[in-house]
Structure 1
Amino acid sequence: MIKNNENKIALVSGANTGVGFQIAKALAENGYVVYAGSRDLEKGKAATAEIGRKAIAVQLDITDNESIRNAVETIEAEYGYLTLLVNNAAISHAGKAGRTMEEILGSQRATIVPIDELKSVWDTNVFGTLALTQAFLPLLHKAPASRIVTVSSALGSLTINANPENPYRVHFDAVYGASKTALNGIFLSLAIELEKTNIKVHMVSPGFTATALNNFEGTDSVEEGSKEPIRVALAEDLPTGSFTGPANFGRTDKVLPW
């Protein structure tokens, strides 16, 4: 039951750094009570101290069911509902640390990638993201109108990668890129399932942003790359089932093809 209709309550996974931090900061600046999820609670506390306002650190590992359950129980006890879930937490690889982005992508080709590494990345990016979403659906249903915003990637677009003129298609790997394709498919399915409910579902790509996901080798700053995810996180009038990103790949609008 909603205790205070005036409060908008958000949870952002992977909020202690990168795009997740920028989203959490923008939400707090726009009046949300923001739970900043972080696998390392101390890093989450450092992030919320920087954000200030109504930012609250919560330990959250989306591959750990107990961690997810504890986060749900915390928000349920304190507010009883959730207005916005931002699925941001993700990993790009599960191999050796210290490699360049080119080395990582080269090792993740479908012909050679170790299946255990593929499973590890998909466990976070696909299964963990869905597990977190499923766990919070009861609280999302308790808000008058709620939204699920999932940070995906244009790299997961089959249409874009099938285009021989796309210079980035060589980076469509079986691990990270295809995990985003699977994520897109699952959350489009979720959007269709929930389209007659109070919950909207949106997918958004930040573009090629310099974050820990790519060893900070992206072409856009984290501030620039966060603009579209922040826009979508704050927008309440977008049609459910949307997939947007920066205008590139020859497009002049923000709508991304599946």
Structure 2
Amino acid sequence: MRTALITGANKGIGFETAKQLLENGYFVFIGSRNIDNGESAVQQLKDKGFENAKAIRLDVADISSIENARQEVGEQTDVLDVLINNAGINGGMPQAALEAPVEAFQSVIDTNLYGVIRVTQAFMDLLRNSKEPRIVNVSSSGCSLTLHSDPDWIYYSHKAAVYTASKAAMNMYTINLAYELRDTPFKVNAVCPGFVATDFNNHRGTGTVEEGGQRIAKYAMITKDGPTGKFISEEYNPETGETPW
């Protein structure tokens, strides 16, 4: 049975992605900053008939939490086939470039960039034991430098200096990670679930969590012929998904 770890999987897109992977026969570790919330999510999945899920306390901003999570997962399996770096924060609004305090940037980047780096590095040994390891860094078309520079883009006026900076930096990390793993079976991509209505955006999104989870799960399960080192948004580009950085 293939195994997957999803950070921030106790609700929203992370939870839905877990459900979709479970439907496809994966064992899923439900990463949650609060273990009670994680256990609640696992119970919800069990109530739906999914038994192969386990809650793991994992705070991506706390290295000791990550180390403990790595130990706990390692006690369950020697192989991790999929890592989905889903946990993230938006930093609240407004986020004006001239007014947002540096502390806001530091806090959001600590989770959205450094958190991805911490978790990826901590679980790399288990991922290397997989025959077809996959890493999906959950991103957003809203952090595309190209799109945000285009006045004709539909979301051109939706600027959020703190959040978009953190995710653009995460995208650059994704490029470098994919490059370093280019001669291995790894597939590493930054994937946008779309503008999905969740707690993350106060349910202002136009898409559903089912759509978002499906998009993330798709790239967690891609075959050896699938893309790597790409920025994917099927909402922006329904044909190929490939999105400008």
| TM-score of the two chains, using structure 2 as the length reference | 0.93
Is 1:225 the counterpart of 2:212? The answer is yes
The match for 1:71 is 69
Is 1:25 the counterpart of 2:12? The answer is no
Do the aligned partners of 2:175 and 2:229 also contact (CA within 8 Å) in 1?
yes
Do the aligned partners of 1:140 and 1:146 also contact (CA within 8 Å) in 2?
yes
Write the distance in 2 (CA, Å) between the matches of 1:196 and 1:241: 12
Determine which of 62, 67, 71 is the counterpart of 2:60.
62
For structure 2, the residue ranges without an aligned partner over 5 or more in a row are: none
Write the distance in 1 (CA, Å) between the matches of 2:61 and 2:96: 24
- Equivalent residues in 2 for 1:36-115 (5 A)? 36-52=30-46, 53-93=51-91, 104=93, 107-115=94-102
Say which SS state the counterpart of residue 49 (structure 1) adopts. Answer: helix
Write the distance in 1 (CA, Å) between the matches of 2:119 and 2:206: 30
Say which SS state the counterpart of residue 146 (structure 2) adopts. Answer: helix
Offset at 1:25? 0.8
Do the aligned partners of 2:194 and 2:235 also contact (CA within 8 Å) in 1?
no
Write the distance in 1 (CA, Å) between the matches of 2:76 and 2:11: 25
Write the distance in 2 (CA, Å) between the matches of 1:172 and 1:187: 22
Structure 1 consecutive aligned stretches of length 4 or more whose deviation exceeds 6 Å: none
Offset at 1:245? 1.4
The Cα offsets for residues 31-52 of structure 1, whole Å up to 9 and x where unpaired, read as: 1110000011111111111222
Identical aligned pairs, as a percentage?
42
The match for 2:188 is 201
Say which SS state the counterpart of residue 161 (structure 2) adopts. Answer: coil
Offset at 1:200? 1.6
The Cα offsets for residues 107-133 of structure 1, whole Å up to 9 and x where unpaired, read as: 211111011011101110011111110
Offset at 1:173? 2.2
1:72 aligned partner, one-letter code: R
Say which SS state the counterpart of residue 201 (structure 1) adopts. Answer: strand
The match for 1:136 is 123
**More divergent stretch after superposition (108-117 vs 219-228):** 219-228
For structure 1, the residue ranges without an aligned partner over 5 or more in a row are: 1-6, 96-103
Do the aligned partners of 2:236 and 2:243 also contact (CA within 8 Å) in 1?
no
Say which SS state the counterpart of residue 227 (structure 1) adopts. Answer: helix
Say which SS state the counterpart of residue 47 (structure 1) adopts. Answer: helix
Say which SS state the counterpart of residue 157 (structure 2) adopts. Answer: helix
Determine which of 153, 156, 171 is the counterpart of 1:166.
153
